Amino acid sequence: MVGLGHIAQVAVLPAFAHARANSRLVAIVSGDRTKRRELGRRYKVAAYSYEQYDECLKEVDAVYIALPNSQHAEFTVRAARAGVHVLCEKPMAVTVDECETMLEACRANRVKLMIAYRLHFEELNLRAIDLVRRGAIGEPKFFNSSFSMTVRKGDIRLQKAHGGGSLYDIGVYCINAARYLFRAEPKEVVAMAVNSGLARLAEVDESTAGILRFDGERVASFVTSFNAADVATYQIVGTKGHLRLDPAYEYAEPLAWTMTIGGKAKRVRSATRDQFAPELLHFSDCILKNRQPEPSGEEGMQDVRIVQALYQSAETGKAVPIPPFKERKRPTRRQRMAKPGVAKPRLVKVQSASID
């Protein structure tokens, strides 16, 4: 486990208890001595500093990278060159060039690269994909999503040097959801970013609205914000009905969807699930059986490509075309794995990014 921030401590480290079938936590890497000491003792694993990363790579089969976005490429490439497989948090990197460097390093050294899109394994999101694919709401026409939070002052998400910004942090959820629900790729994008002038938000986009145009005259729109109440929802509307997930992107609370056909609504609510253990199980299975992981590095790079195009559109005020892209795999029902939720552990020198 490389990086011991909030997501690592509250979700990934506890998830190993549900992934024992093929995965074992053996080491942690952090720049903080207290985190290394306390979490190393708690999980009974070796603890390394960032300066000792190359030493750590000699002792492990794979790494889960949960570092700031700006460090994903460097630590992935170093792992690949050491012959170590990589499960990397999203966004994959800050630029498409970095993504291509990561992909090339992993290919050249014959290691697996997977991007940690946990919702590709989450029951309700996979059911939504299946319902849309089977035509339950008719022909899907448009998608809309809202994802926002009030981010604490000083959080790395607000620091440009670390790859901060609402599109990088939470916009990738909206983009990825639209792509897997439409089972298609956008042809062009348009965006508008706003900033109210608050000092803590000066380096990044405070709120961004994006529109993605797909083949078949389908559109996806979304708004992300770092300065609004917590919202995490999406809706896809078809010619016969619509499907809404609210909340859609959370991992620490139950998710729910409502499908409305002909004015009649059906609502399903899930229990709180461990969304991270399925990632670990799938990734380790791909390593052991020499299979291509889903979501792949190519999938992660496409979202970064779209994020960069949206920022370009917001800056220029013009629509930006997206080059053709054909990914080999999409999330399927076979990736549905239900694991019970985990109790929130005692956190060490870390807090949630959101004030709410």
Task: Give me the active site residues, please.
Answer: 90, 173
Tokens of 109: 């050294």
* Three-state SS at 145: strand
C-alpha angle 183-185-191 in degrees, rounded to nearest 5: 125
The answer to whether the beta carbons of residues 169 and 304 sit under 8 Å apart is no
- Report the first-to-last Cα separation within the chain, whole angstroms: 27
Backbone φ and ψ for 332, nearest 5 degrees, come out as -130, 170
CB-CB contact of 55 with 46 (8 Å): no
* Beta carbons of 247 and 211 less than 8 angstroms apart: no
3-state helix, strand, coil in the chain (%, to 5): 40, 25, 35
Report the alpha-carbon distance of residue 60 to residue 348 in Å, rounded.
Answer: 24
H helix runs in the chain, sequence order: 6-7, 13-15, 33-43, 53-57, 72-81, 96-108, 123-133, 166, 172-182, 277-289, 297-316
